[in-house]
Copies of this chain bind each other. A is one copy, B any other.
Amino acid sequence: MSSVAVSPLAPKTYPEMPAIDGVRIATAKAGIKYKGRVDLMAMVFDEGTAVAGVLTTSKCPSAPVDLCREHLAGGRARILVVNAGNANAFTGKKGRHTTAVAARAAAEAAGCSEGEVFLSSTGVIGEPLDPSHFERHLSDMVAGAAGDRWTEAAHAIMTTDTFPKLVTRTVTLGDAEVTINAIAKGAGMIAPDMATMLSYLATDAPIAAPVLQALLSRYTASTFNAITVDSDTSTSDTLLAFATGKASARGAPTIETIDDPRLAAFETAFEACLLDLALMLARDGEGATKLIRVEVIGAVSGASAKRIAMSIANSPLVKTAVTGEDANWGRVVMAVGKAGEPADRDRLAIWFGDILVASEGERAESYSEAATSAYMKNDEIVIRADIGLGEGRFTVWTCNLTKEYVAINGDYRS
């Protein structure tokens, strides 16, 4: 992994991450797979922390995903433990044994019930994960946890990521300032649903678990589930949101319903955090050198627009054309055509950026190869397709397909 340089699409600066009241973090070098780097992260929450989550739809989920699904029903969290290097997926009974041992060790360390423990594992699939890592480290980690370690946390959960993914927003809830911090990891095996692969958001705002869940469900559709790197969906995708409620002490109102008008600013910031992280995942797509925004408008419905947009965004031919800096709109036509959704060749219009390249079933009269070629040199490419049949629209983000993607994924385990 370490042979890969930082993505050319990485952010130029990283945010200073403030502490979140009620959240303490610790990391450790457990040597699970990687040597000499942090690969284990614990996030400890004060009593009264609400939790919500969205998990992979894979029919073959990892053992930790099964555990999270079970514990989410309780709506309460005291500790999150994440390891990198081994996904504990397709590990059968051994995998369930490992999550059981890890949950017990985490609960003991945090002084909580096992139902308040959340686990994630990311890395190679199918290798047994030795549970002793958790027994050996968690007690010391919890004892030494501190609030100002969000950047370390983002580093600890990386696998093939070339840069850590962090975002923070501070907004007003009632008369109090509240903060949202979030981190994510993921660079490949990224497609709806979920696209994360792993992402954790924490806030000191007093948001009831059902509201937190409603916010997640509402905004993953247009953020994490609107990005795709390679159309592959992980067995481990996990997005968890934690609300400690500590801002109550500073006068923040407790939000019990999603319709509460006091939620507006928080809701906007919440969505922005998810979108920022999702775009960072696309920017860190394995081997990516271009971020691609695919906007489909004029489809017969929003769902139809999404399927067409995903067909374009997942097309290897579209993605390699962008790599070649070639405005090959013929491949966009092909991808619209193969989506299986209502489309009429003679009504279709396609833009690269602001340049109309095709309309009414043929190349636009104004088309200029020179202008589109110049546009294609940008780091961020917008492909817009107007299907011309209705009002349905959807936007997805992806990245280009390069030789480096093949190199990274053809030499992962060996």
Contacts and interface: CB of A to CB of B under 8 A. Distances in A.
Interface residues of A, number: 74
21 contacts: A58-B338, A61-B345, A87-B330, A89-B330, A90-B330, A90-B361, A91-B362, A92-B346, A92-B361, A126-B362, A126-B363, A127-B363, A128-B362, A189-B334, A230-B317, A231-B231, A231-B314, A231-B315, A320-B405, A326-B412, A401-B406
A144 to B, nearest CB: 34
Contact of A90 (B94, B191, B333): B333
Contact of A320 (B191, B340, B358, B410): B410
A321 B412 contact: yes
A326 B406 contact: no
Contact of A59 (B314, B320, B324, B342): B342
A179 interface: no
A331 B125 CA distance: 7
How many copies the complex holds: the figure is 2
Interface of A: 56-61, 87, 89-95, 124-128, 188-189, 191, 230-235, 314-317, 320-321, 323-326, 328-331, 333-346, 348, 358, 360-363, 401-403, 405-407, 409-414
Max chain B CB contacts within 10 Å: which of A329, A340, A363?
A363
Given A92-B360, A230-B317, 8 more contacts: A59-B340, A90-B330, A189-B317, A231-B315, A235-B333, A320-B405, A320-B410, A324-B412
Contacts of A92: 346, 360-362
A325 B125 CA distance: 17
